[in-house]
Chain A
Amino acid sequence: MNSEDAKAILLAWRKGDLPEEFPPLREAFAMAESDPVLTAWLEEEAIFDAKISSAVESIPVPEGLRDQILNAAESAEAPAHKKKMAPLLRLHRLLPIAASLLVLFLVSFLFLDPLTVEAEPGLNDYCDFVIDSDETIFGSNMKSENFGELMQFLQSKNAPTPSHLPPLIIDLNLVGASATSWRGIAVSVYELEDVNNATIQLFITQVISFPNPDELPTKPAFRKIDEKSLVIWRDGQHLHALASKDGGQSLSHYIKQ
């Protein structure tokens, strides 16, 4: 680690706070302690930080807010007389619903052809959709390099919009976004470009759309469909899929196979 590397890391340092969870900061701080030039620079940074912190902490808090919060919380409390019903007493209320469901099940079993029922949406099906969409979505519905603008555009289409893009692709340039759908479920597509001008698309949909969300990969994983590759992973409530116009070749620059 040289002095410039240390400075870049120490910019994130807050006086009196050295998290054990991020060893590079400790290393950079140790380096600064033994380097007078870095020590002086760090002192100046700390003065700058203190000025900003003090300004942010001087935002006046309205008088009465505390009481307002306590009163609102008090009135949100469930009425005391609404006591929980004993499980056995609740059971008789559920019986008519259970009977109706049973009849409905029997009727559907007798009269509906099971072969006409569409298969549950699965990950393989979604991967096929991503690979096919990669060929059919040509250009973006909205061209912009601004994430906020694209997010607003996708929100206007009721497409899923996480508050930030995954760190994995932070170095790629945003070009635009499209909204599409898979089995009637909204899908956001961010179009990105890498330094070699290769086009990469990030597909985002809700994990709740899948029958077994807990079984979705939580780390980026390659999948091969018809000689083409895509990368897929779950991030919180969203399923991310990366595809590239070159069939996945560009993706290997960002993710190890």
Chain B
Amino acid sequence: MKCKASKSFHQLVDDHYQGLYRFAYSLCKDEHTACDLTQQTFTIYAQKGDSIRDPGKAKSWLFTTLYREFLRLYRRNHRTESRDPEILEETFHLSETPNPDTLDHPRVLGALEQLEEIYRVPLTLFYLRSLSYIEISEVLDMPIGTVMSRLSRGKTRLKRIFLDSTEIPNQ
């Protein structure tokens, strides 16, 4: 298969590798893992891309594949690693409660991390602005109405996190 050497494969990489990397990073919070996930996603595309029924959906396919690879990795790691409750607790406390006026990506990711996964993933895709609503619903394999409802509830919770972080110092 020569698709990866072709201009279209290069174009696909150019168009989406940054968005995919940022999505991967927001999921795993680790540069090396995010690089591996992004690279793995394109490698799978290079091997199986010819069998995608609708080439117009390559972008959704890439995000879906990356998300599945992440879930697979997450499951594998959580099967093999012994989870020390104290370490887990420490990790949770490490995520700072951010102030919305001084936003940078670690603070925003810290706030997103405090959300449940069902809200965090659609909201991250929403804020990345790489995918349309329909594409988000395809990646998450859920109806668009559910996506909208998760976005609405997730954003309410996210705003509450910011609000709480600004109220805490005044207490």
Contact = CB atoms under 8 A, between A and B. Distances in A.
Contacts, number: 143
A55 B128 contact: no
Interface string B95-124: 000001001110111000000111000001
B58 interface: no
B84 interface: no
Interface stretch (A19-27, A35-43, A118-126): A19-27
Contact of B151 (A11, A156, A167): A11
Query: From DSSP, what is the main secondary structure of chain A's interface residues?
Result: helix
B129 A78 contact: no
Interface residues of B, number: 61
Nearest to A52: B127
Given A48-B159, A59-B26, A59-B105, A65 B21 contact: yes
Interface residues of A, number: 46
B114 to A, nearest CB: 13
Interface string B17-55: 110011001100001000100110011011100000000
B168 interface: no
Contact of B107 (A54, A55, A69): A55
A156 B80 CA distance: 9
Interface in A154-211: 155-156, 161, 163-164, 167, 170
Interface string B49-65: 00000000000000000
A152 interface: yes
Interface in A56-77: 56-59, 61-62, 65-66, 68-70, 72-74, 76-77
Contact of B128 (A48, A53, A78, A167): A53
Nearest to B147: A12
B132 A72 contact: no
B129 A14 contact: yes
A245 interface: no
B146 interface: yes
A11 B47 contact: no
Given A69-B38, A155-B75, 4 more contacts: A12-B152, A21-B133, A25-B148, A65-B38
